[in-house]
Structure 1
């Protein structure tokens, strides 16, 4: 099971934590894991390359773990990239609810 925790403060995304795998099989399980990996890793790379927003990142590739926390959640471009990631993740979760769970957690910035 892939578990994604989205950190929010009001309408702003402060970051995310993604951990786990869809399953030990191949085929559609690999497709789910790969899709989630592409969305989360590309979002971190895009925020770093395309915005001025700094962030902390923790990654454990062998364990299927990535955590990103934005230092400036009010940056419009970073928020747009985060919202695009969330849109994609929610679509995957809607199609494969047995393999991916998304939780939104309110936190203080």
Structure 2
């Protein structure tokens, strides 16, 4: 199961963490894993390339199954940061609401 958690300070999303493996299907055919990966990686890339911030990113590039992103305090209210993080949270939340995927992903 993939576990996703968003950390907030008031109304601001300050960080997110995702860990685990979906187990929906074999590697290379797991649409839950693919969906979560696309959402998360696109958010990281968008924050870096479009919003021009350098968040702290920690990942397990060897085994996979772990990604944490933390936005620096000075960047939390920079235009675009919160909308991108909220869009990620919405995407994950929508996956969790799908009955077919509920045993493969959780949102804390």
Higher strand share: 1
Q: 1:58-97 counterparts in 2 under 5 A?
A: 58-61=58-61, 62-71=63-72, 72-95=75-98, 96-97=101-102
Give yes or no for the alignment of 1:98 onto 2:99. no
Segments of structure 1 that go 5 or more residues without pairing to the other structure are 104-109
Query: Which structure has more RCO (C-alpha within 8 Å, separation ≥ 6)?
Result: 1
CA shift, 1:36, in A, is: 0.2
Cα separation, 1, equivalents of 2:7 and 2:93:
15
- TM norm structure 1: 0.86
Match of 2:40 in 1: 40
CA shift, 1:16, in A, is: 0.4
Match of 1:15 in 2: 15
CA shift, 1:15, in A, is: 1.2
- TM norm structure 2: 0.86
**RMSD value over aligned CA atoms?**
1.7
Cα separation, 1, equivalents of 2:97 and 2:26:
20
Aligned residues: 102
Cα separation, 1, equivalents of 2:24 and 2:93:
22
Which consecutive aligned stretches of 4+ in structure 1 deviate over 3 angstroms post-superposition? none
Segments of structure 2 that go 5 or more residues without pairing to the other structure are none
Cα separation, 1, equivalents of 2:64 and 2:53:
27
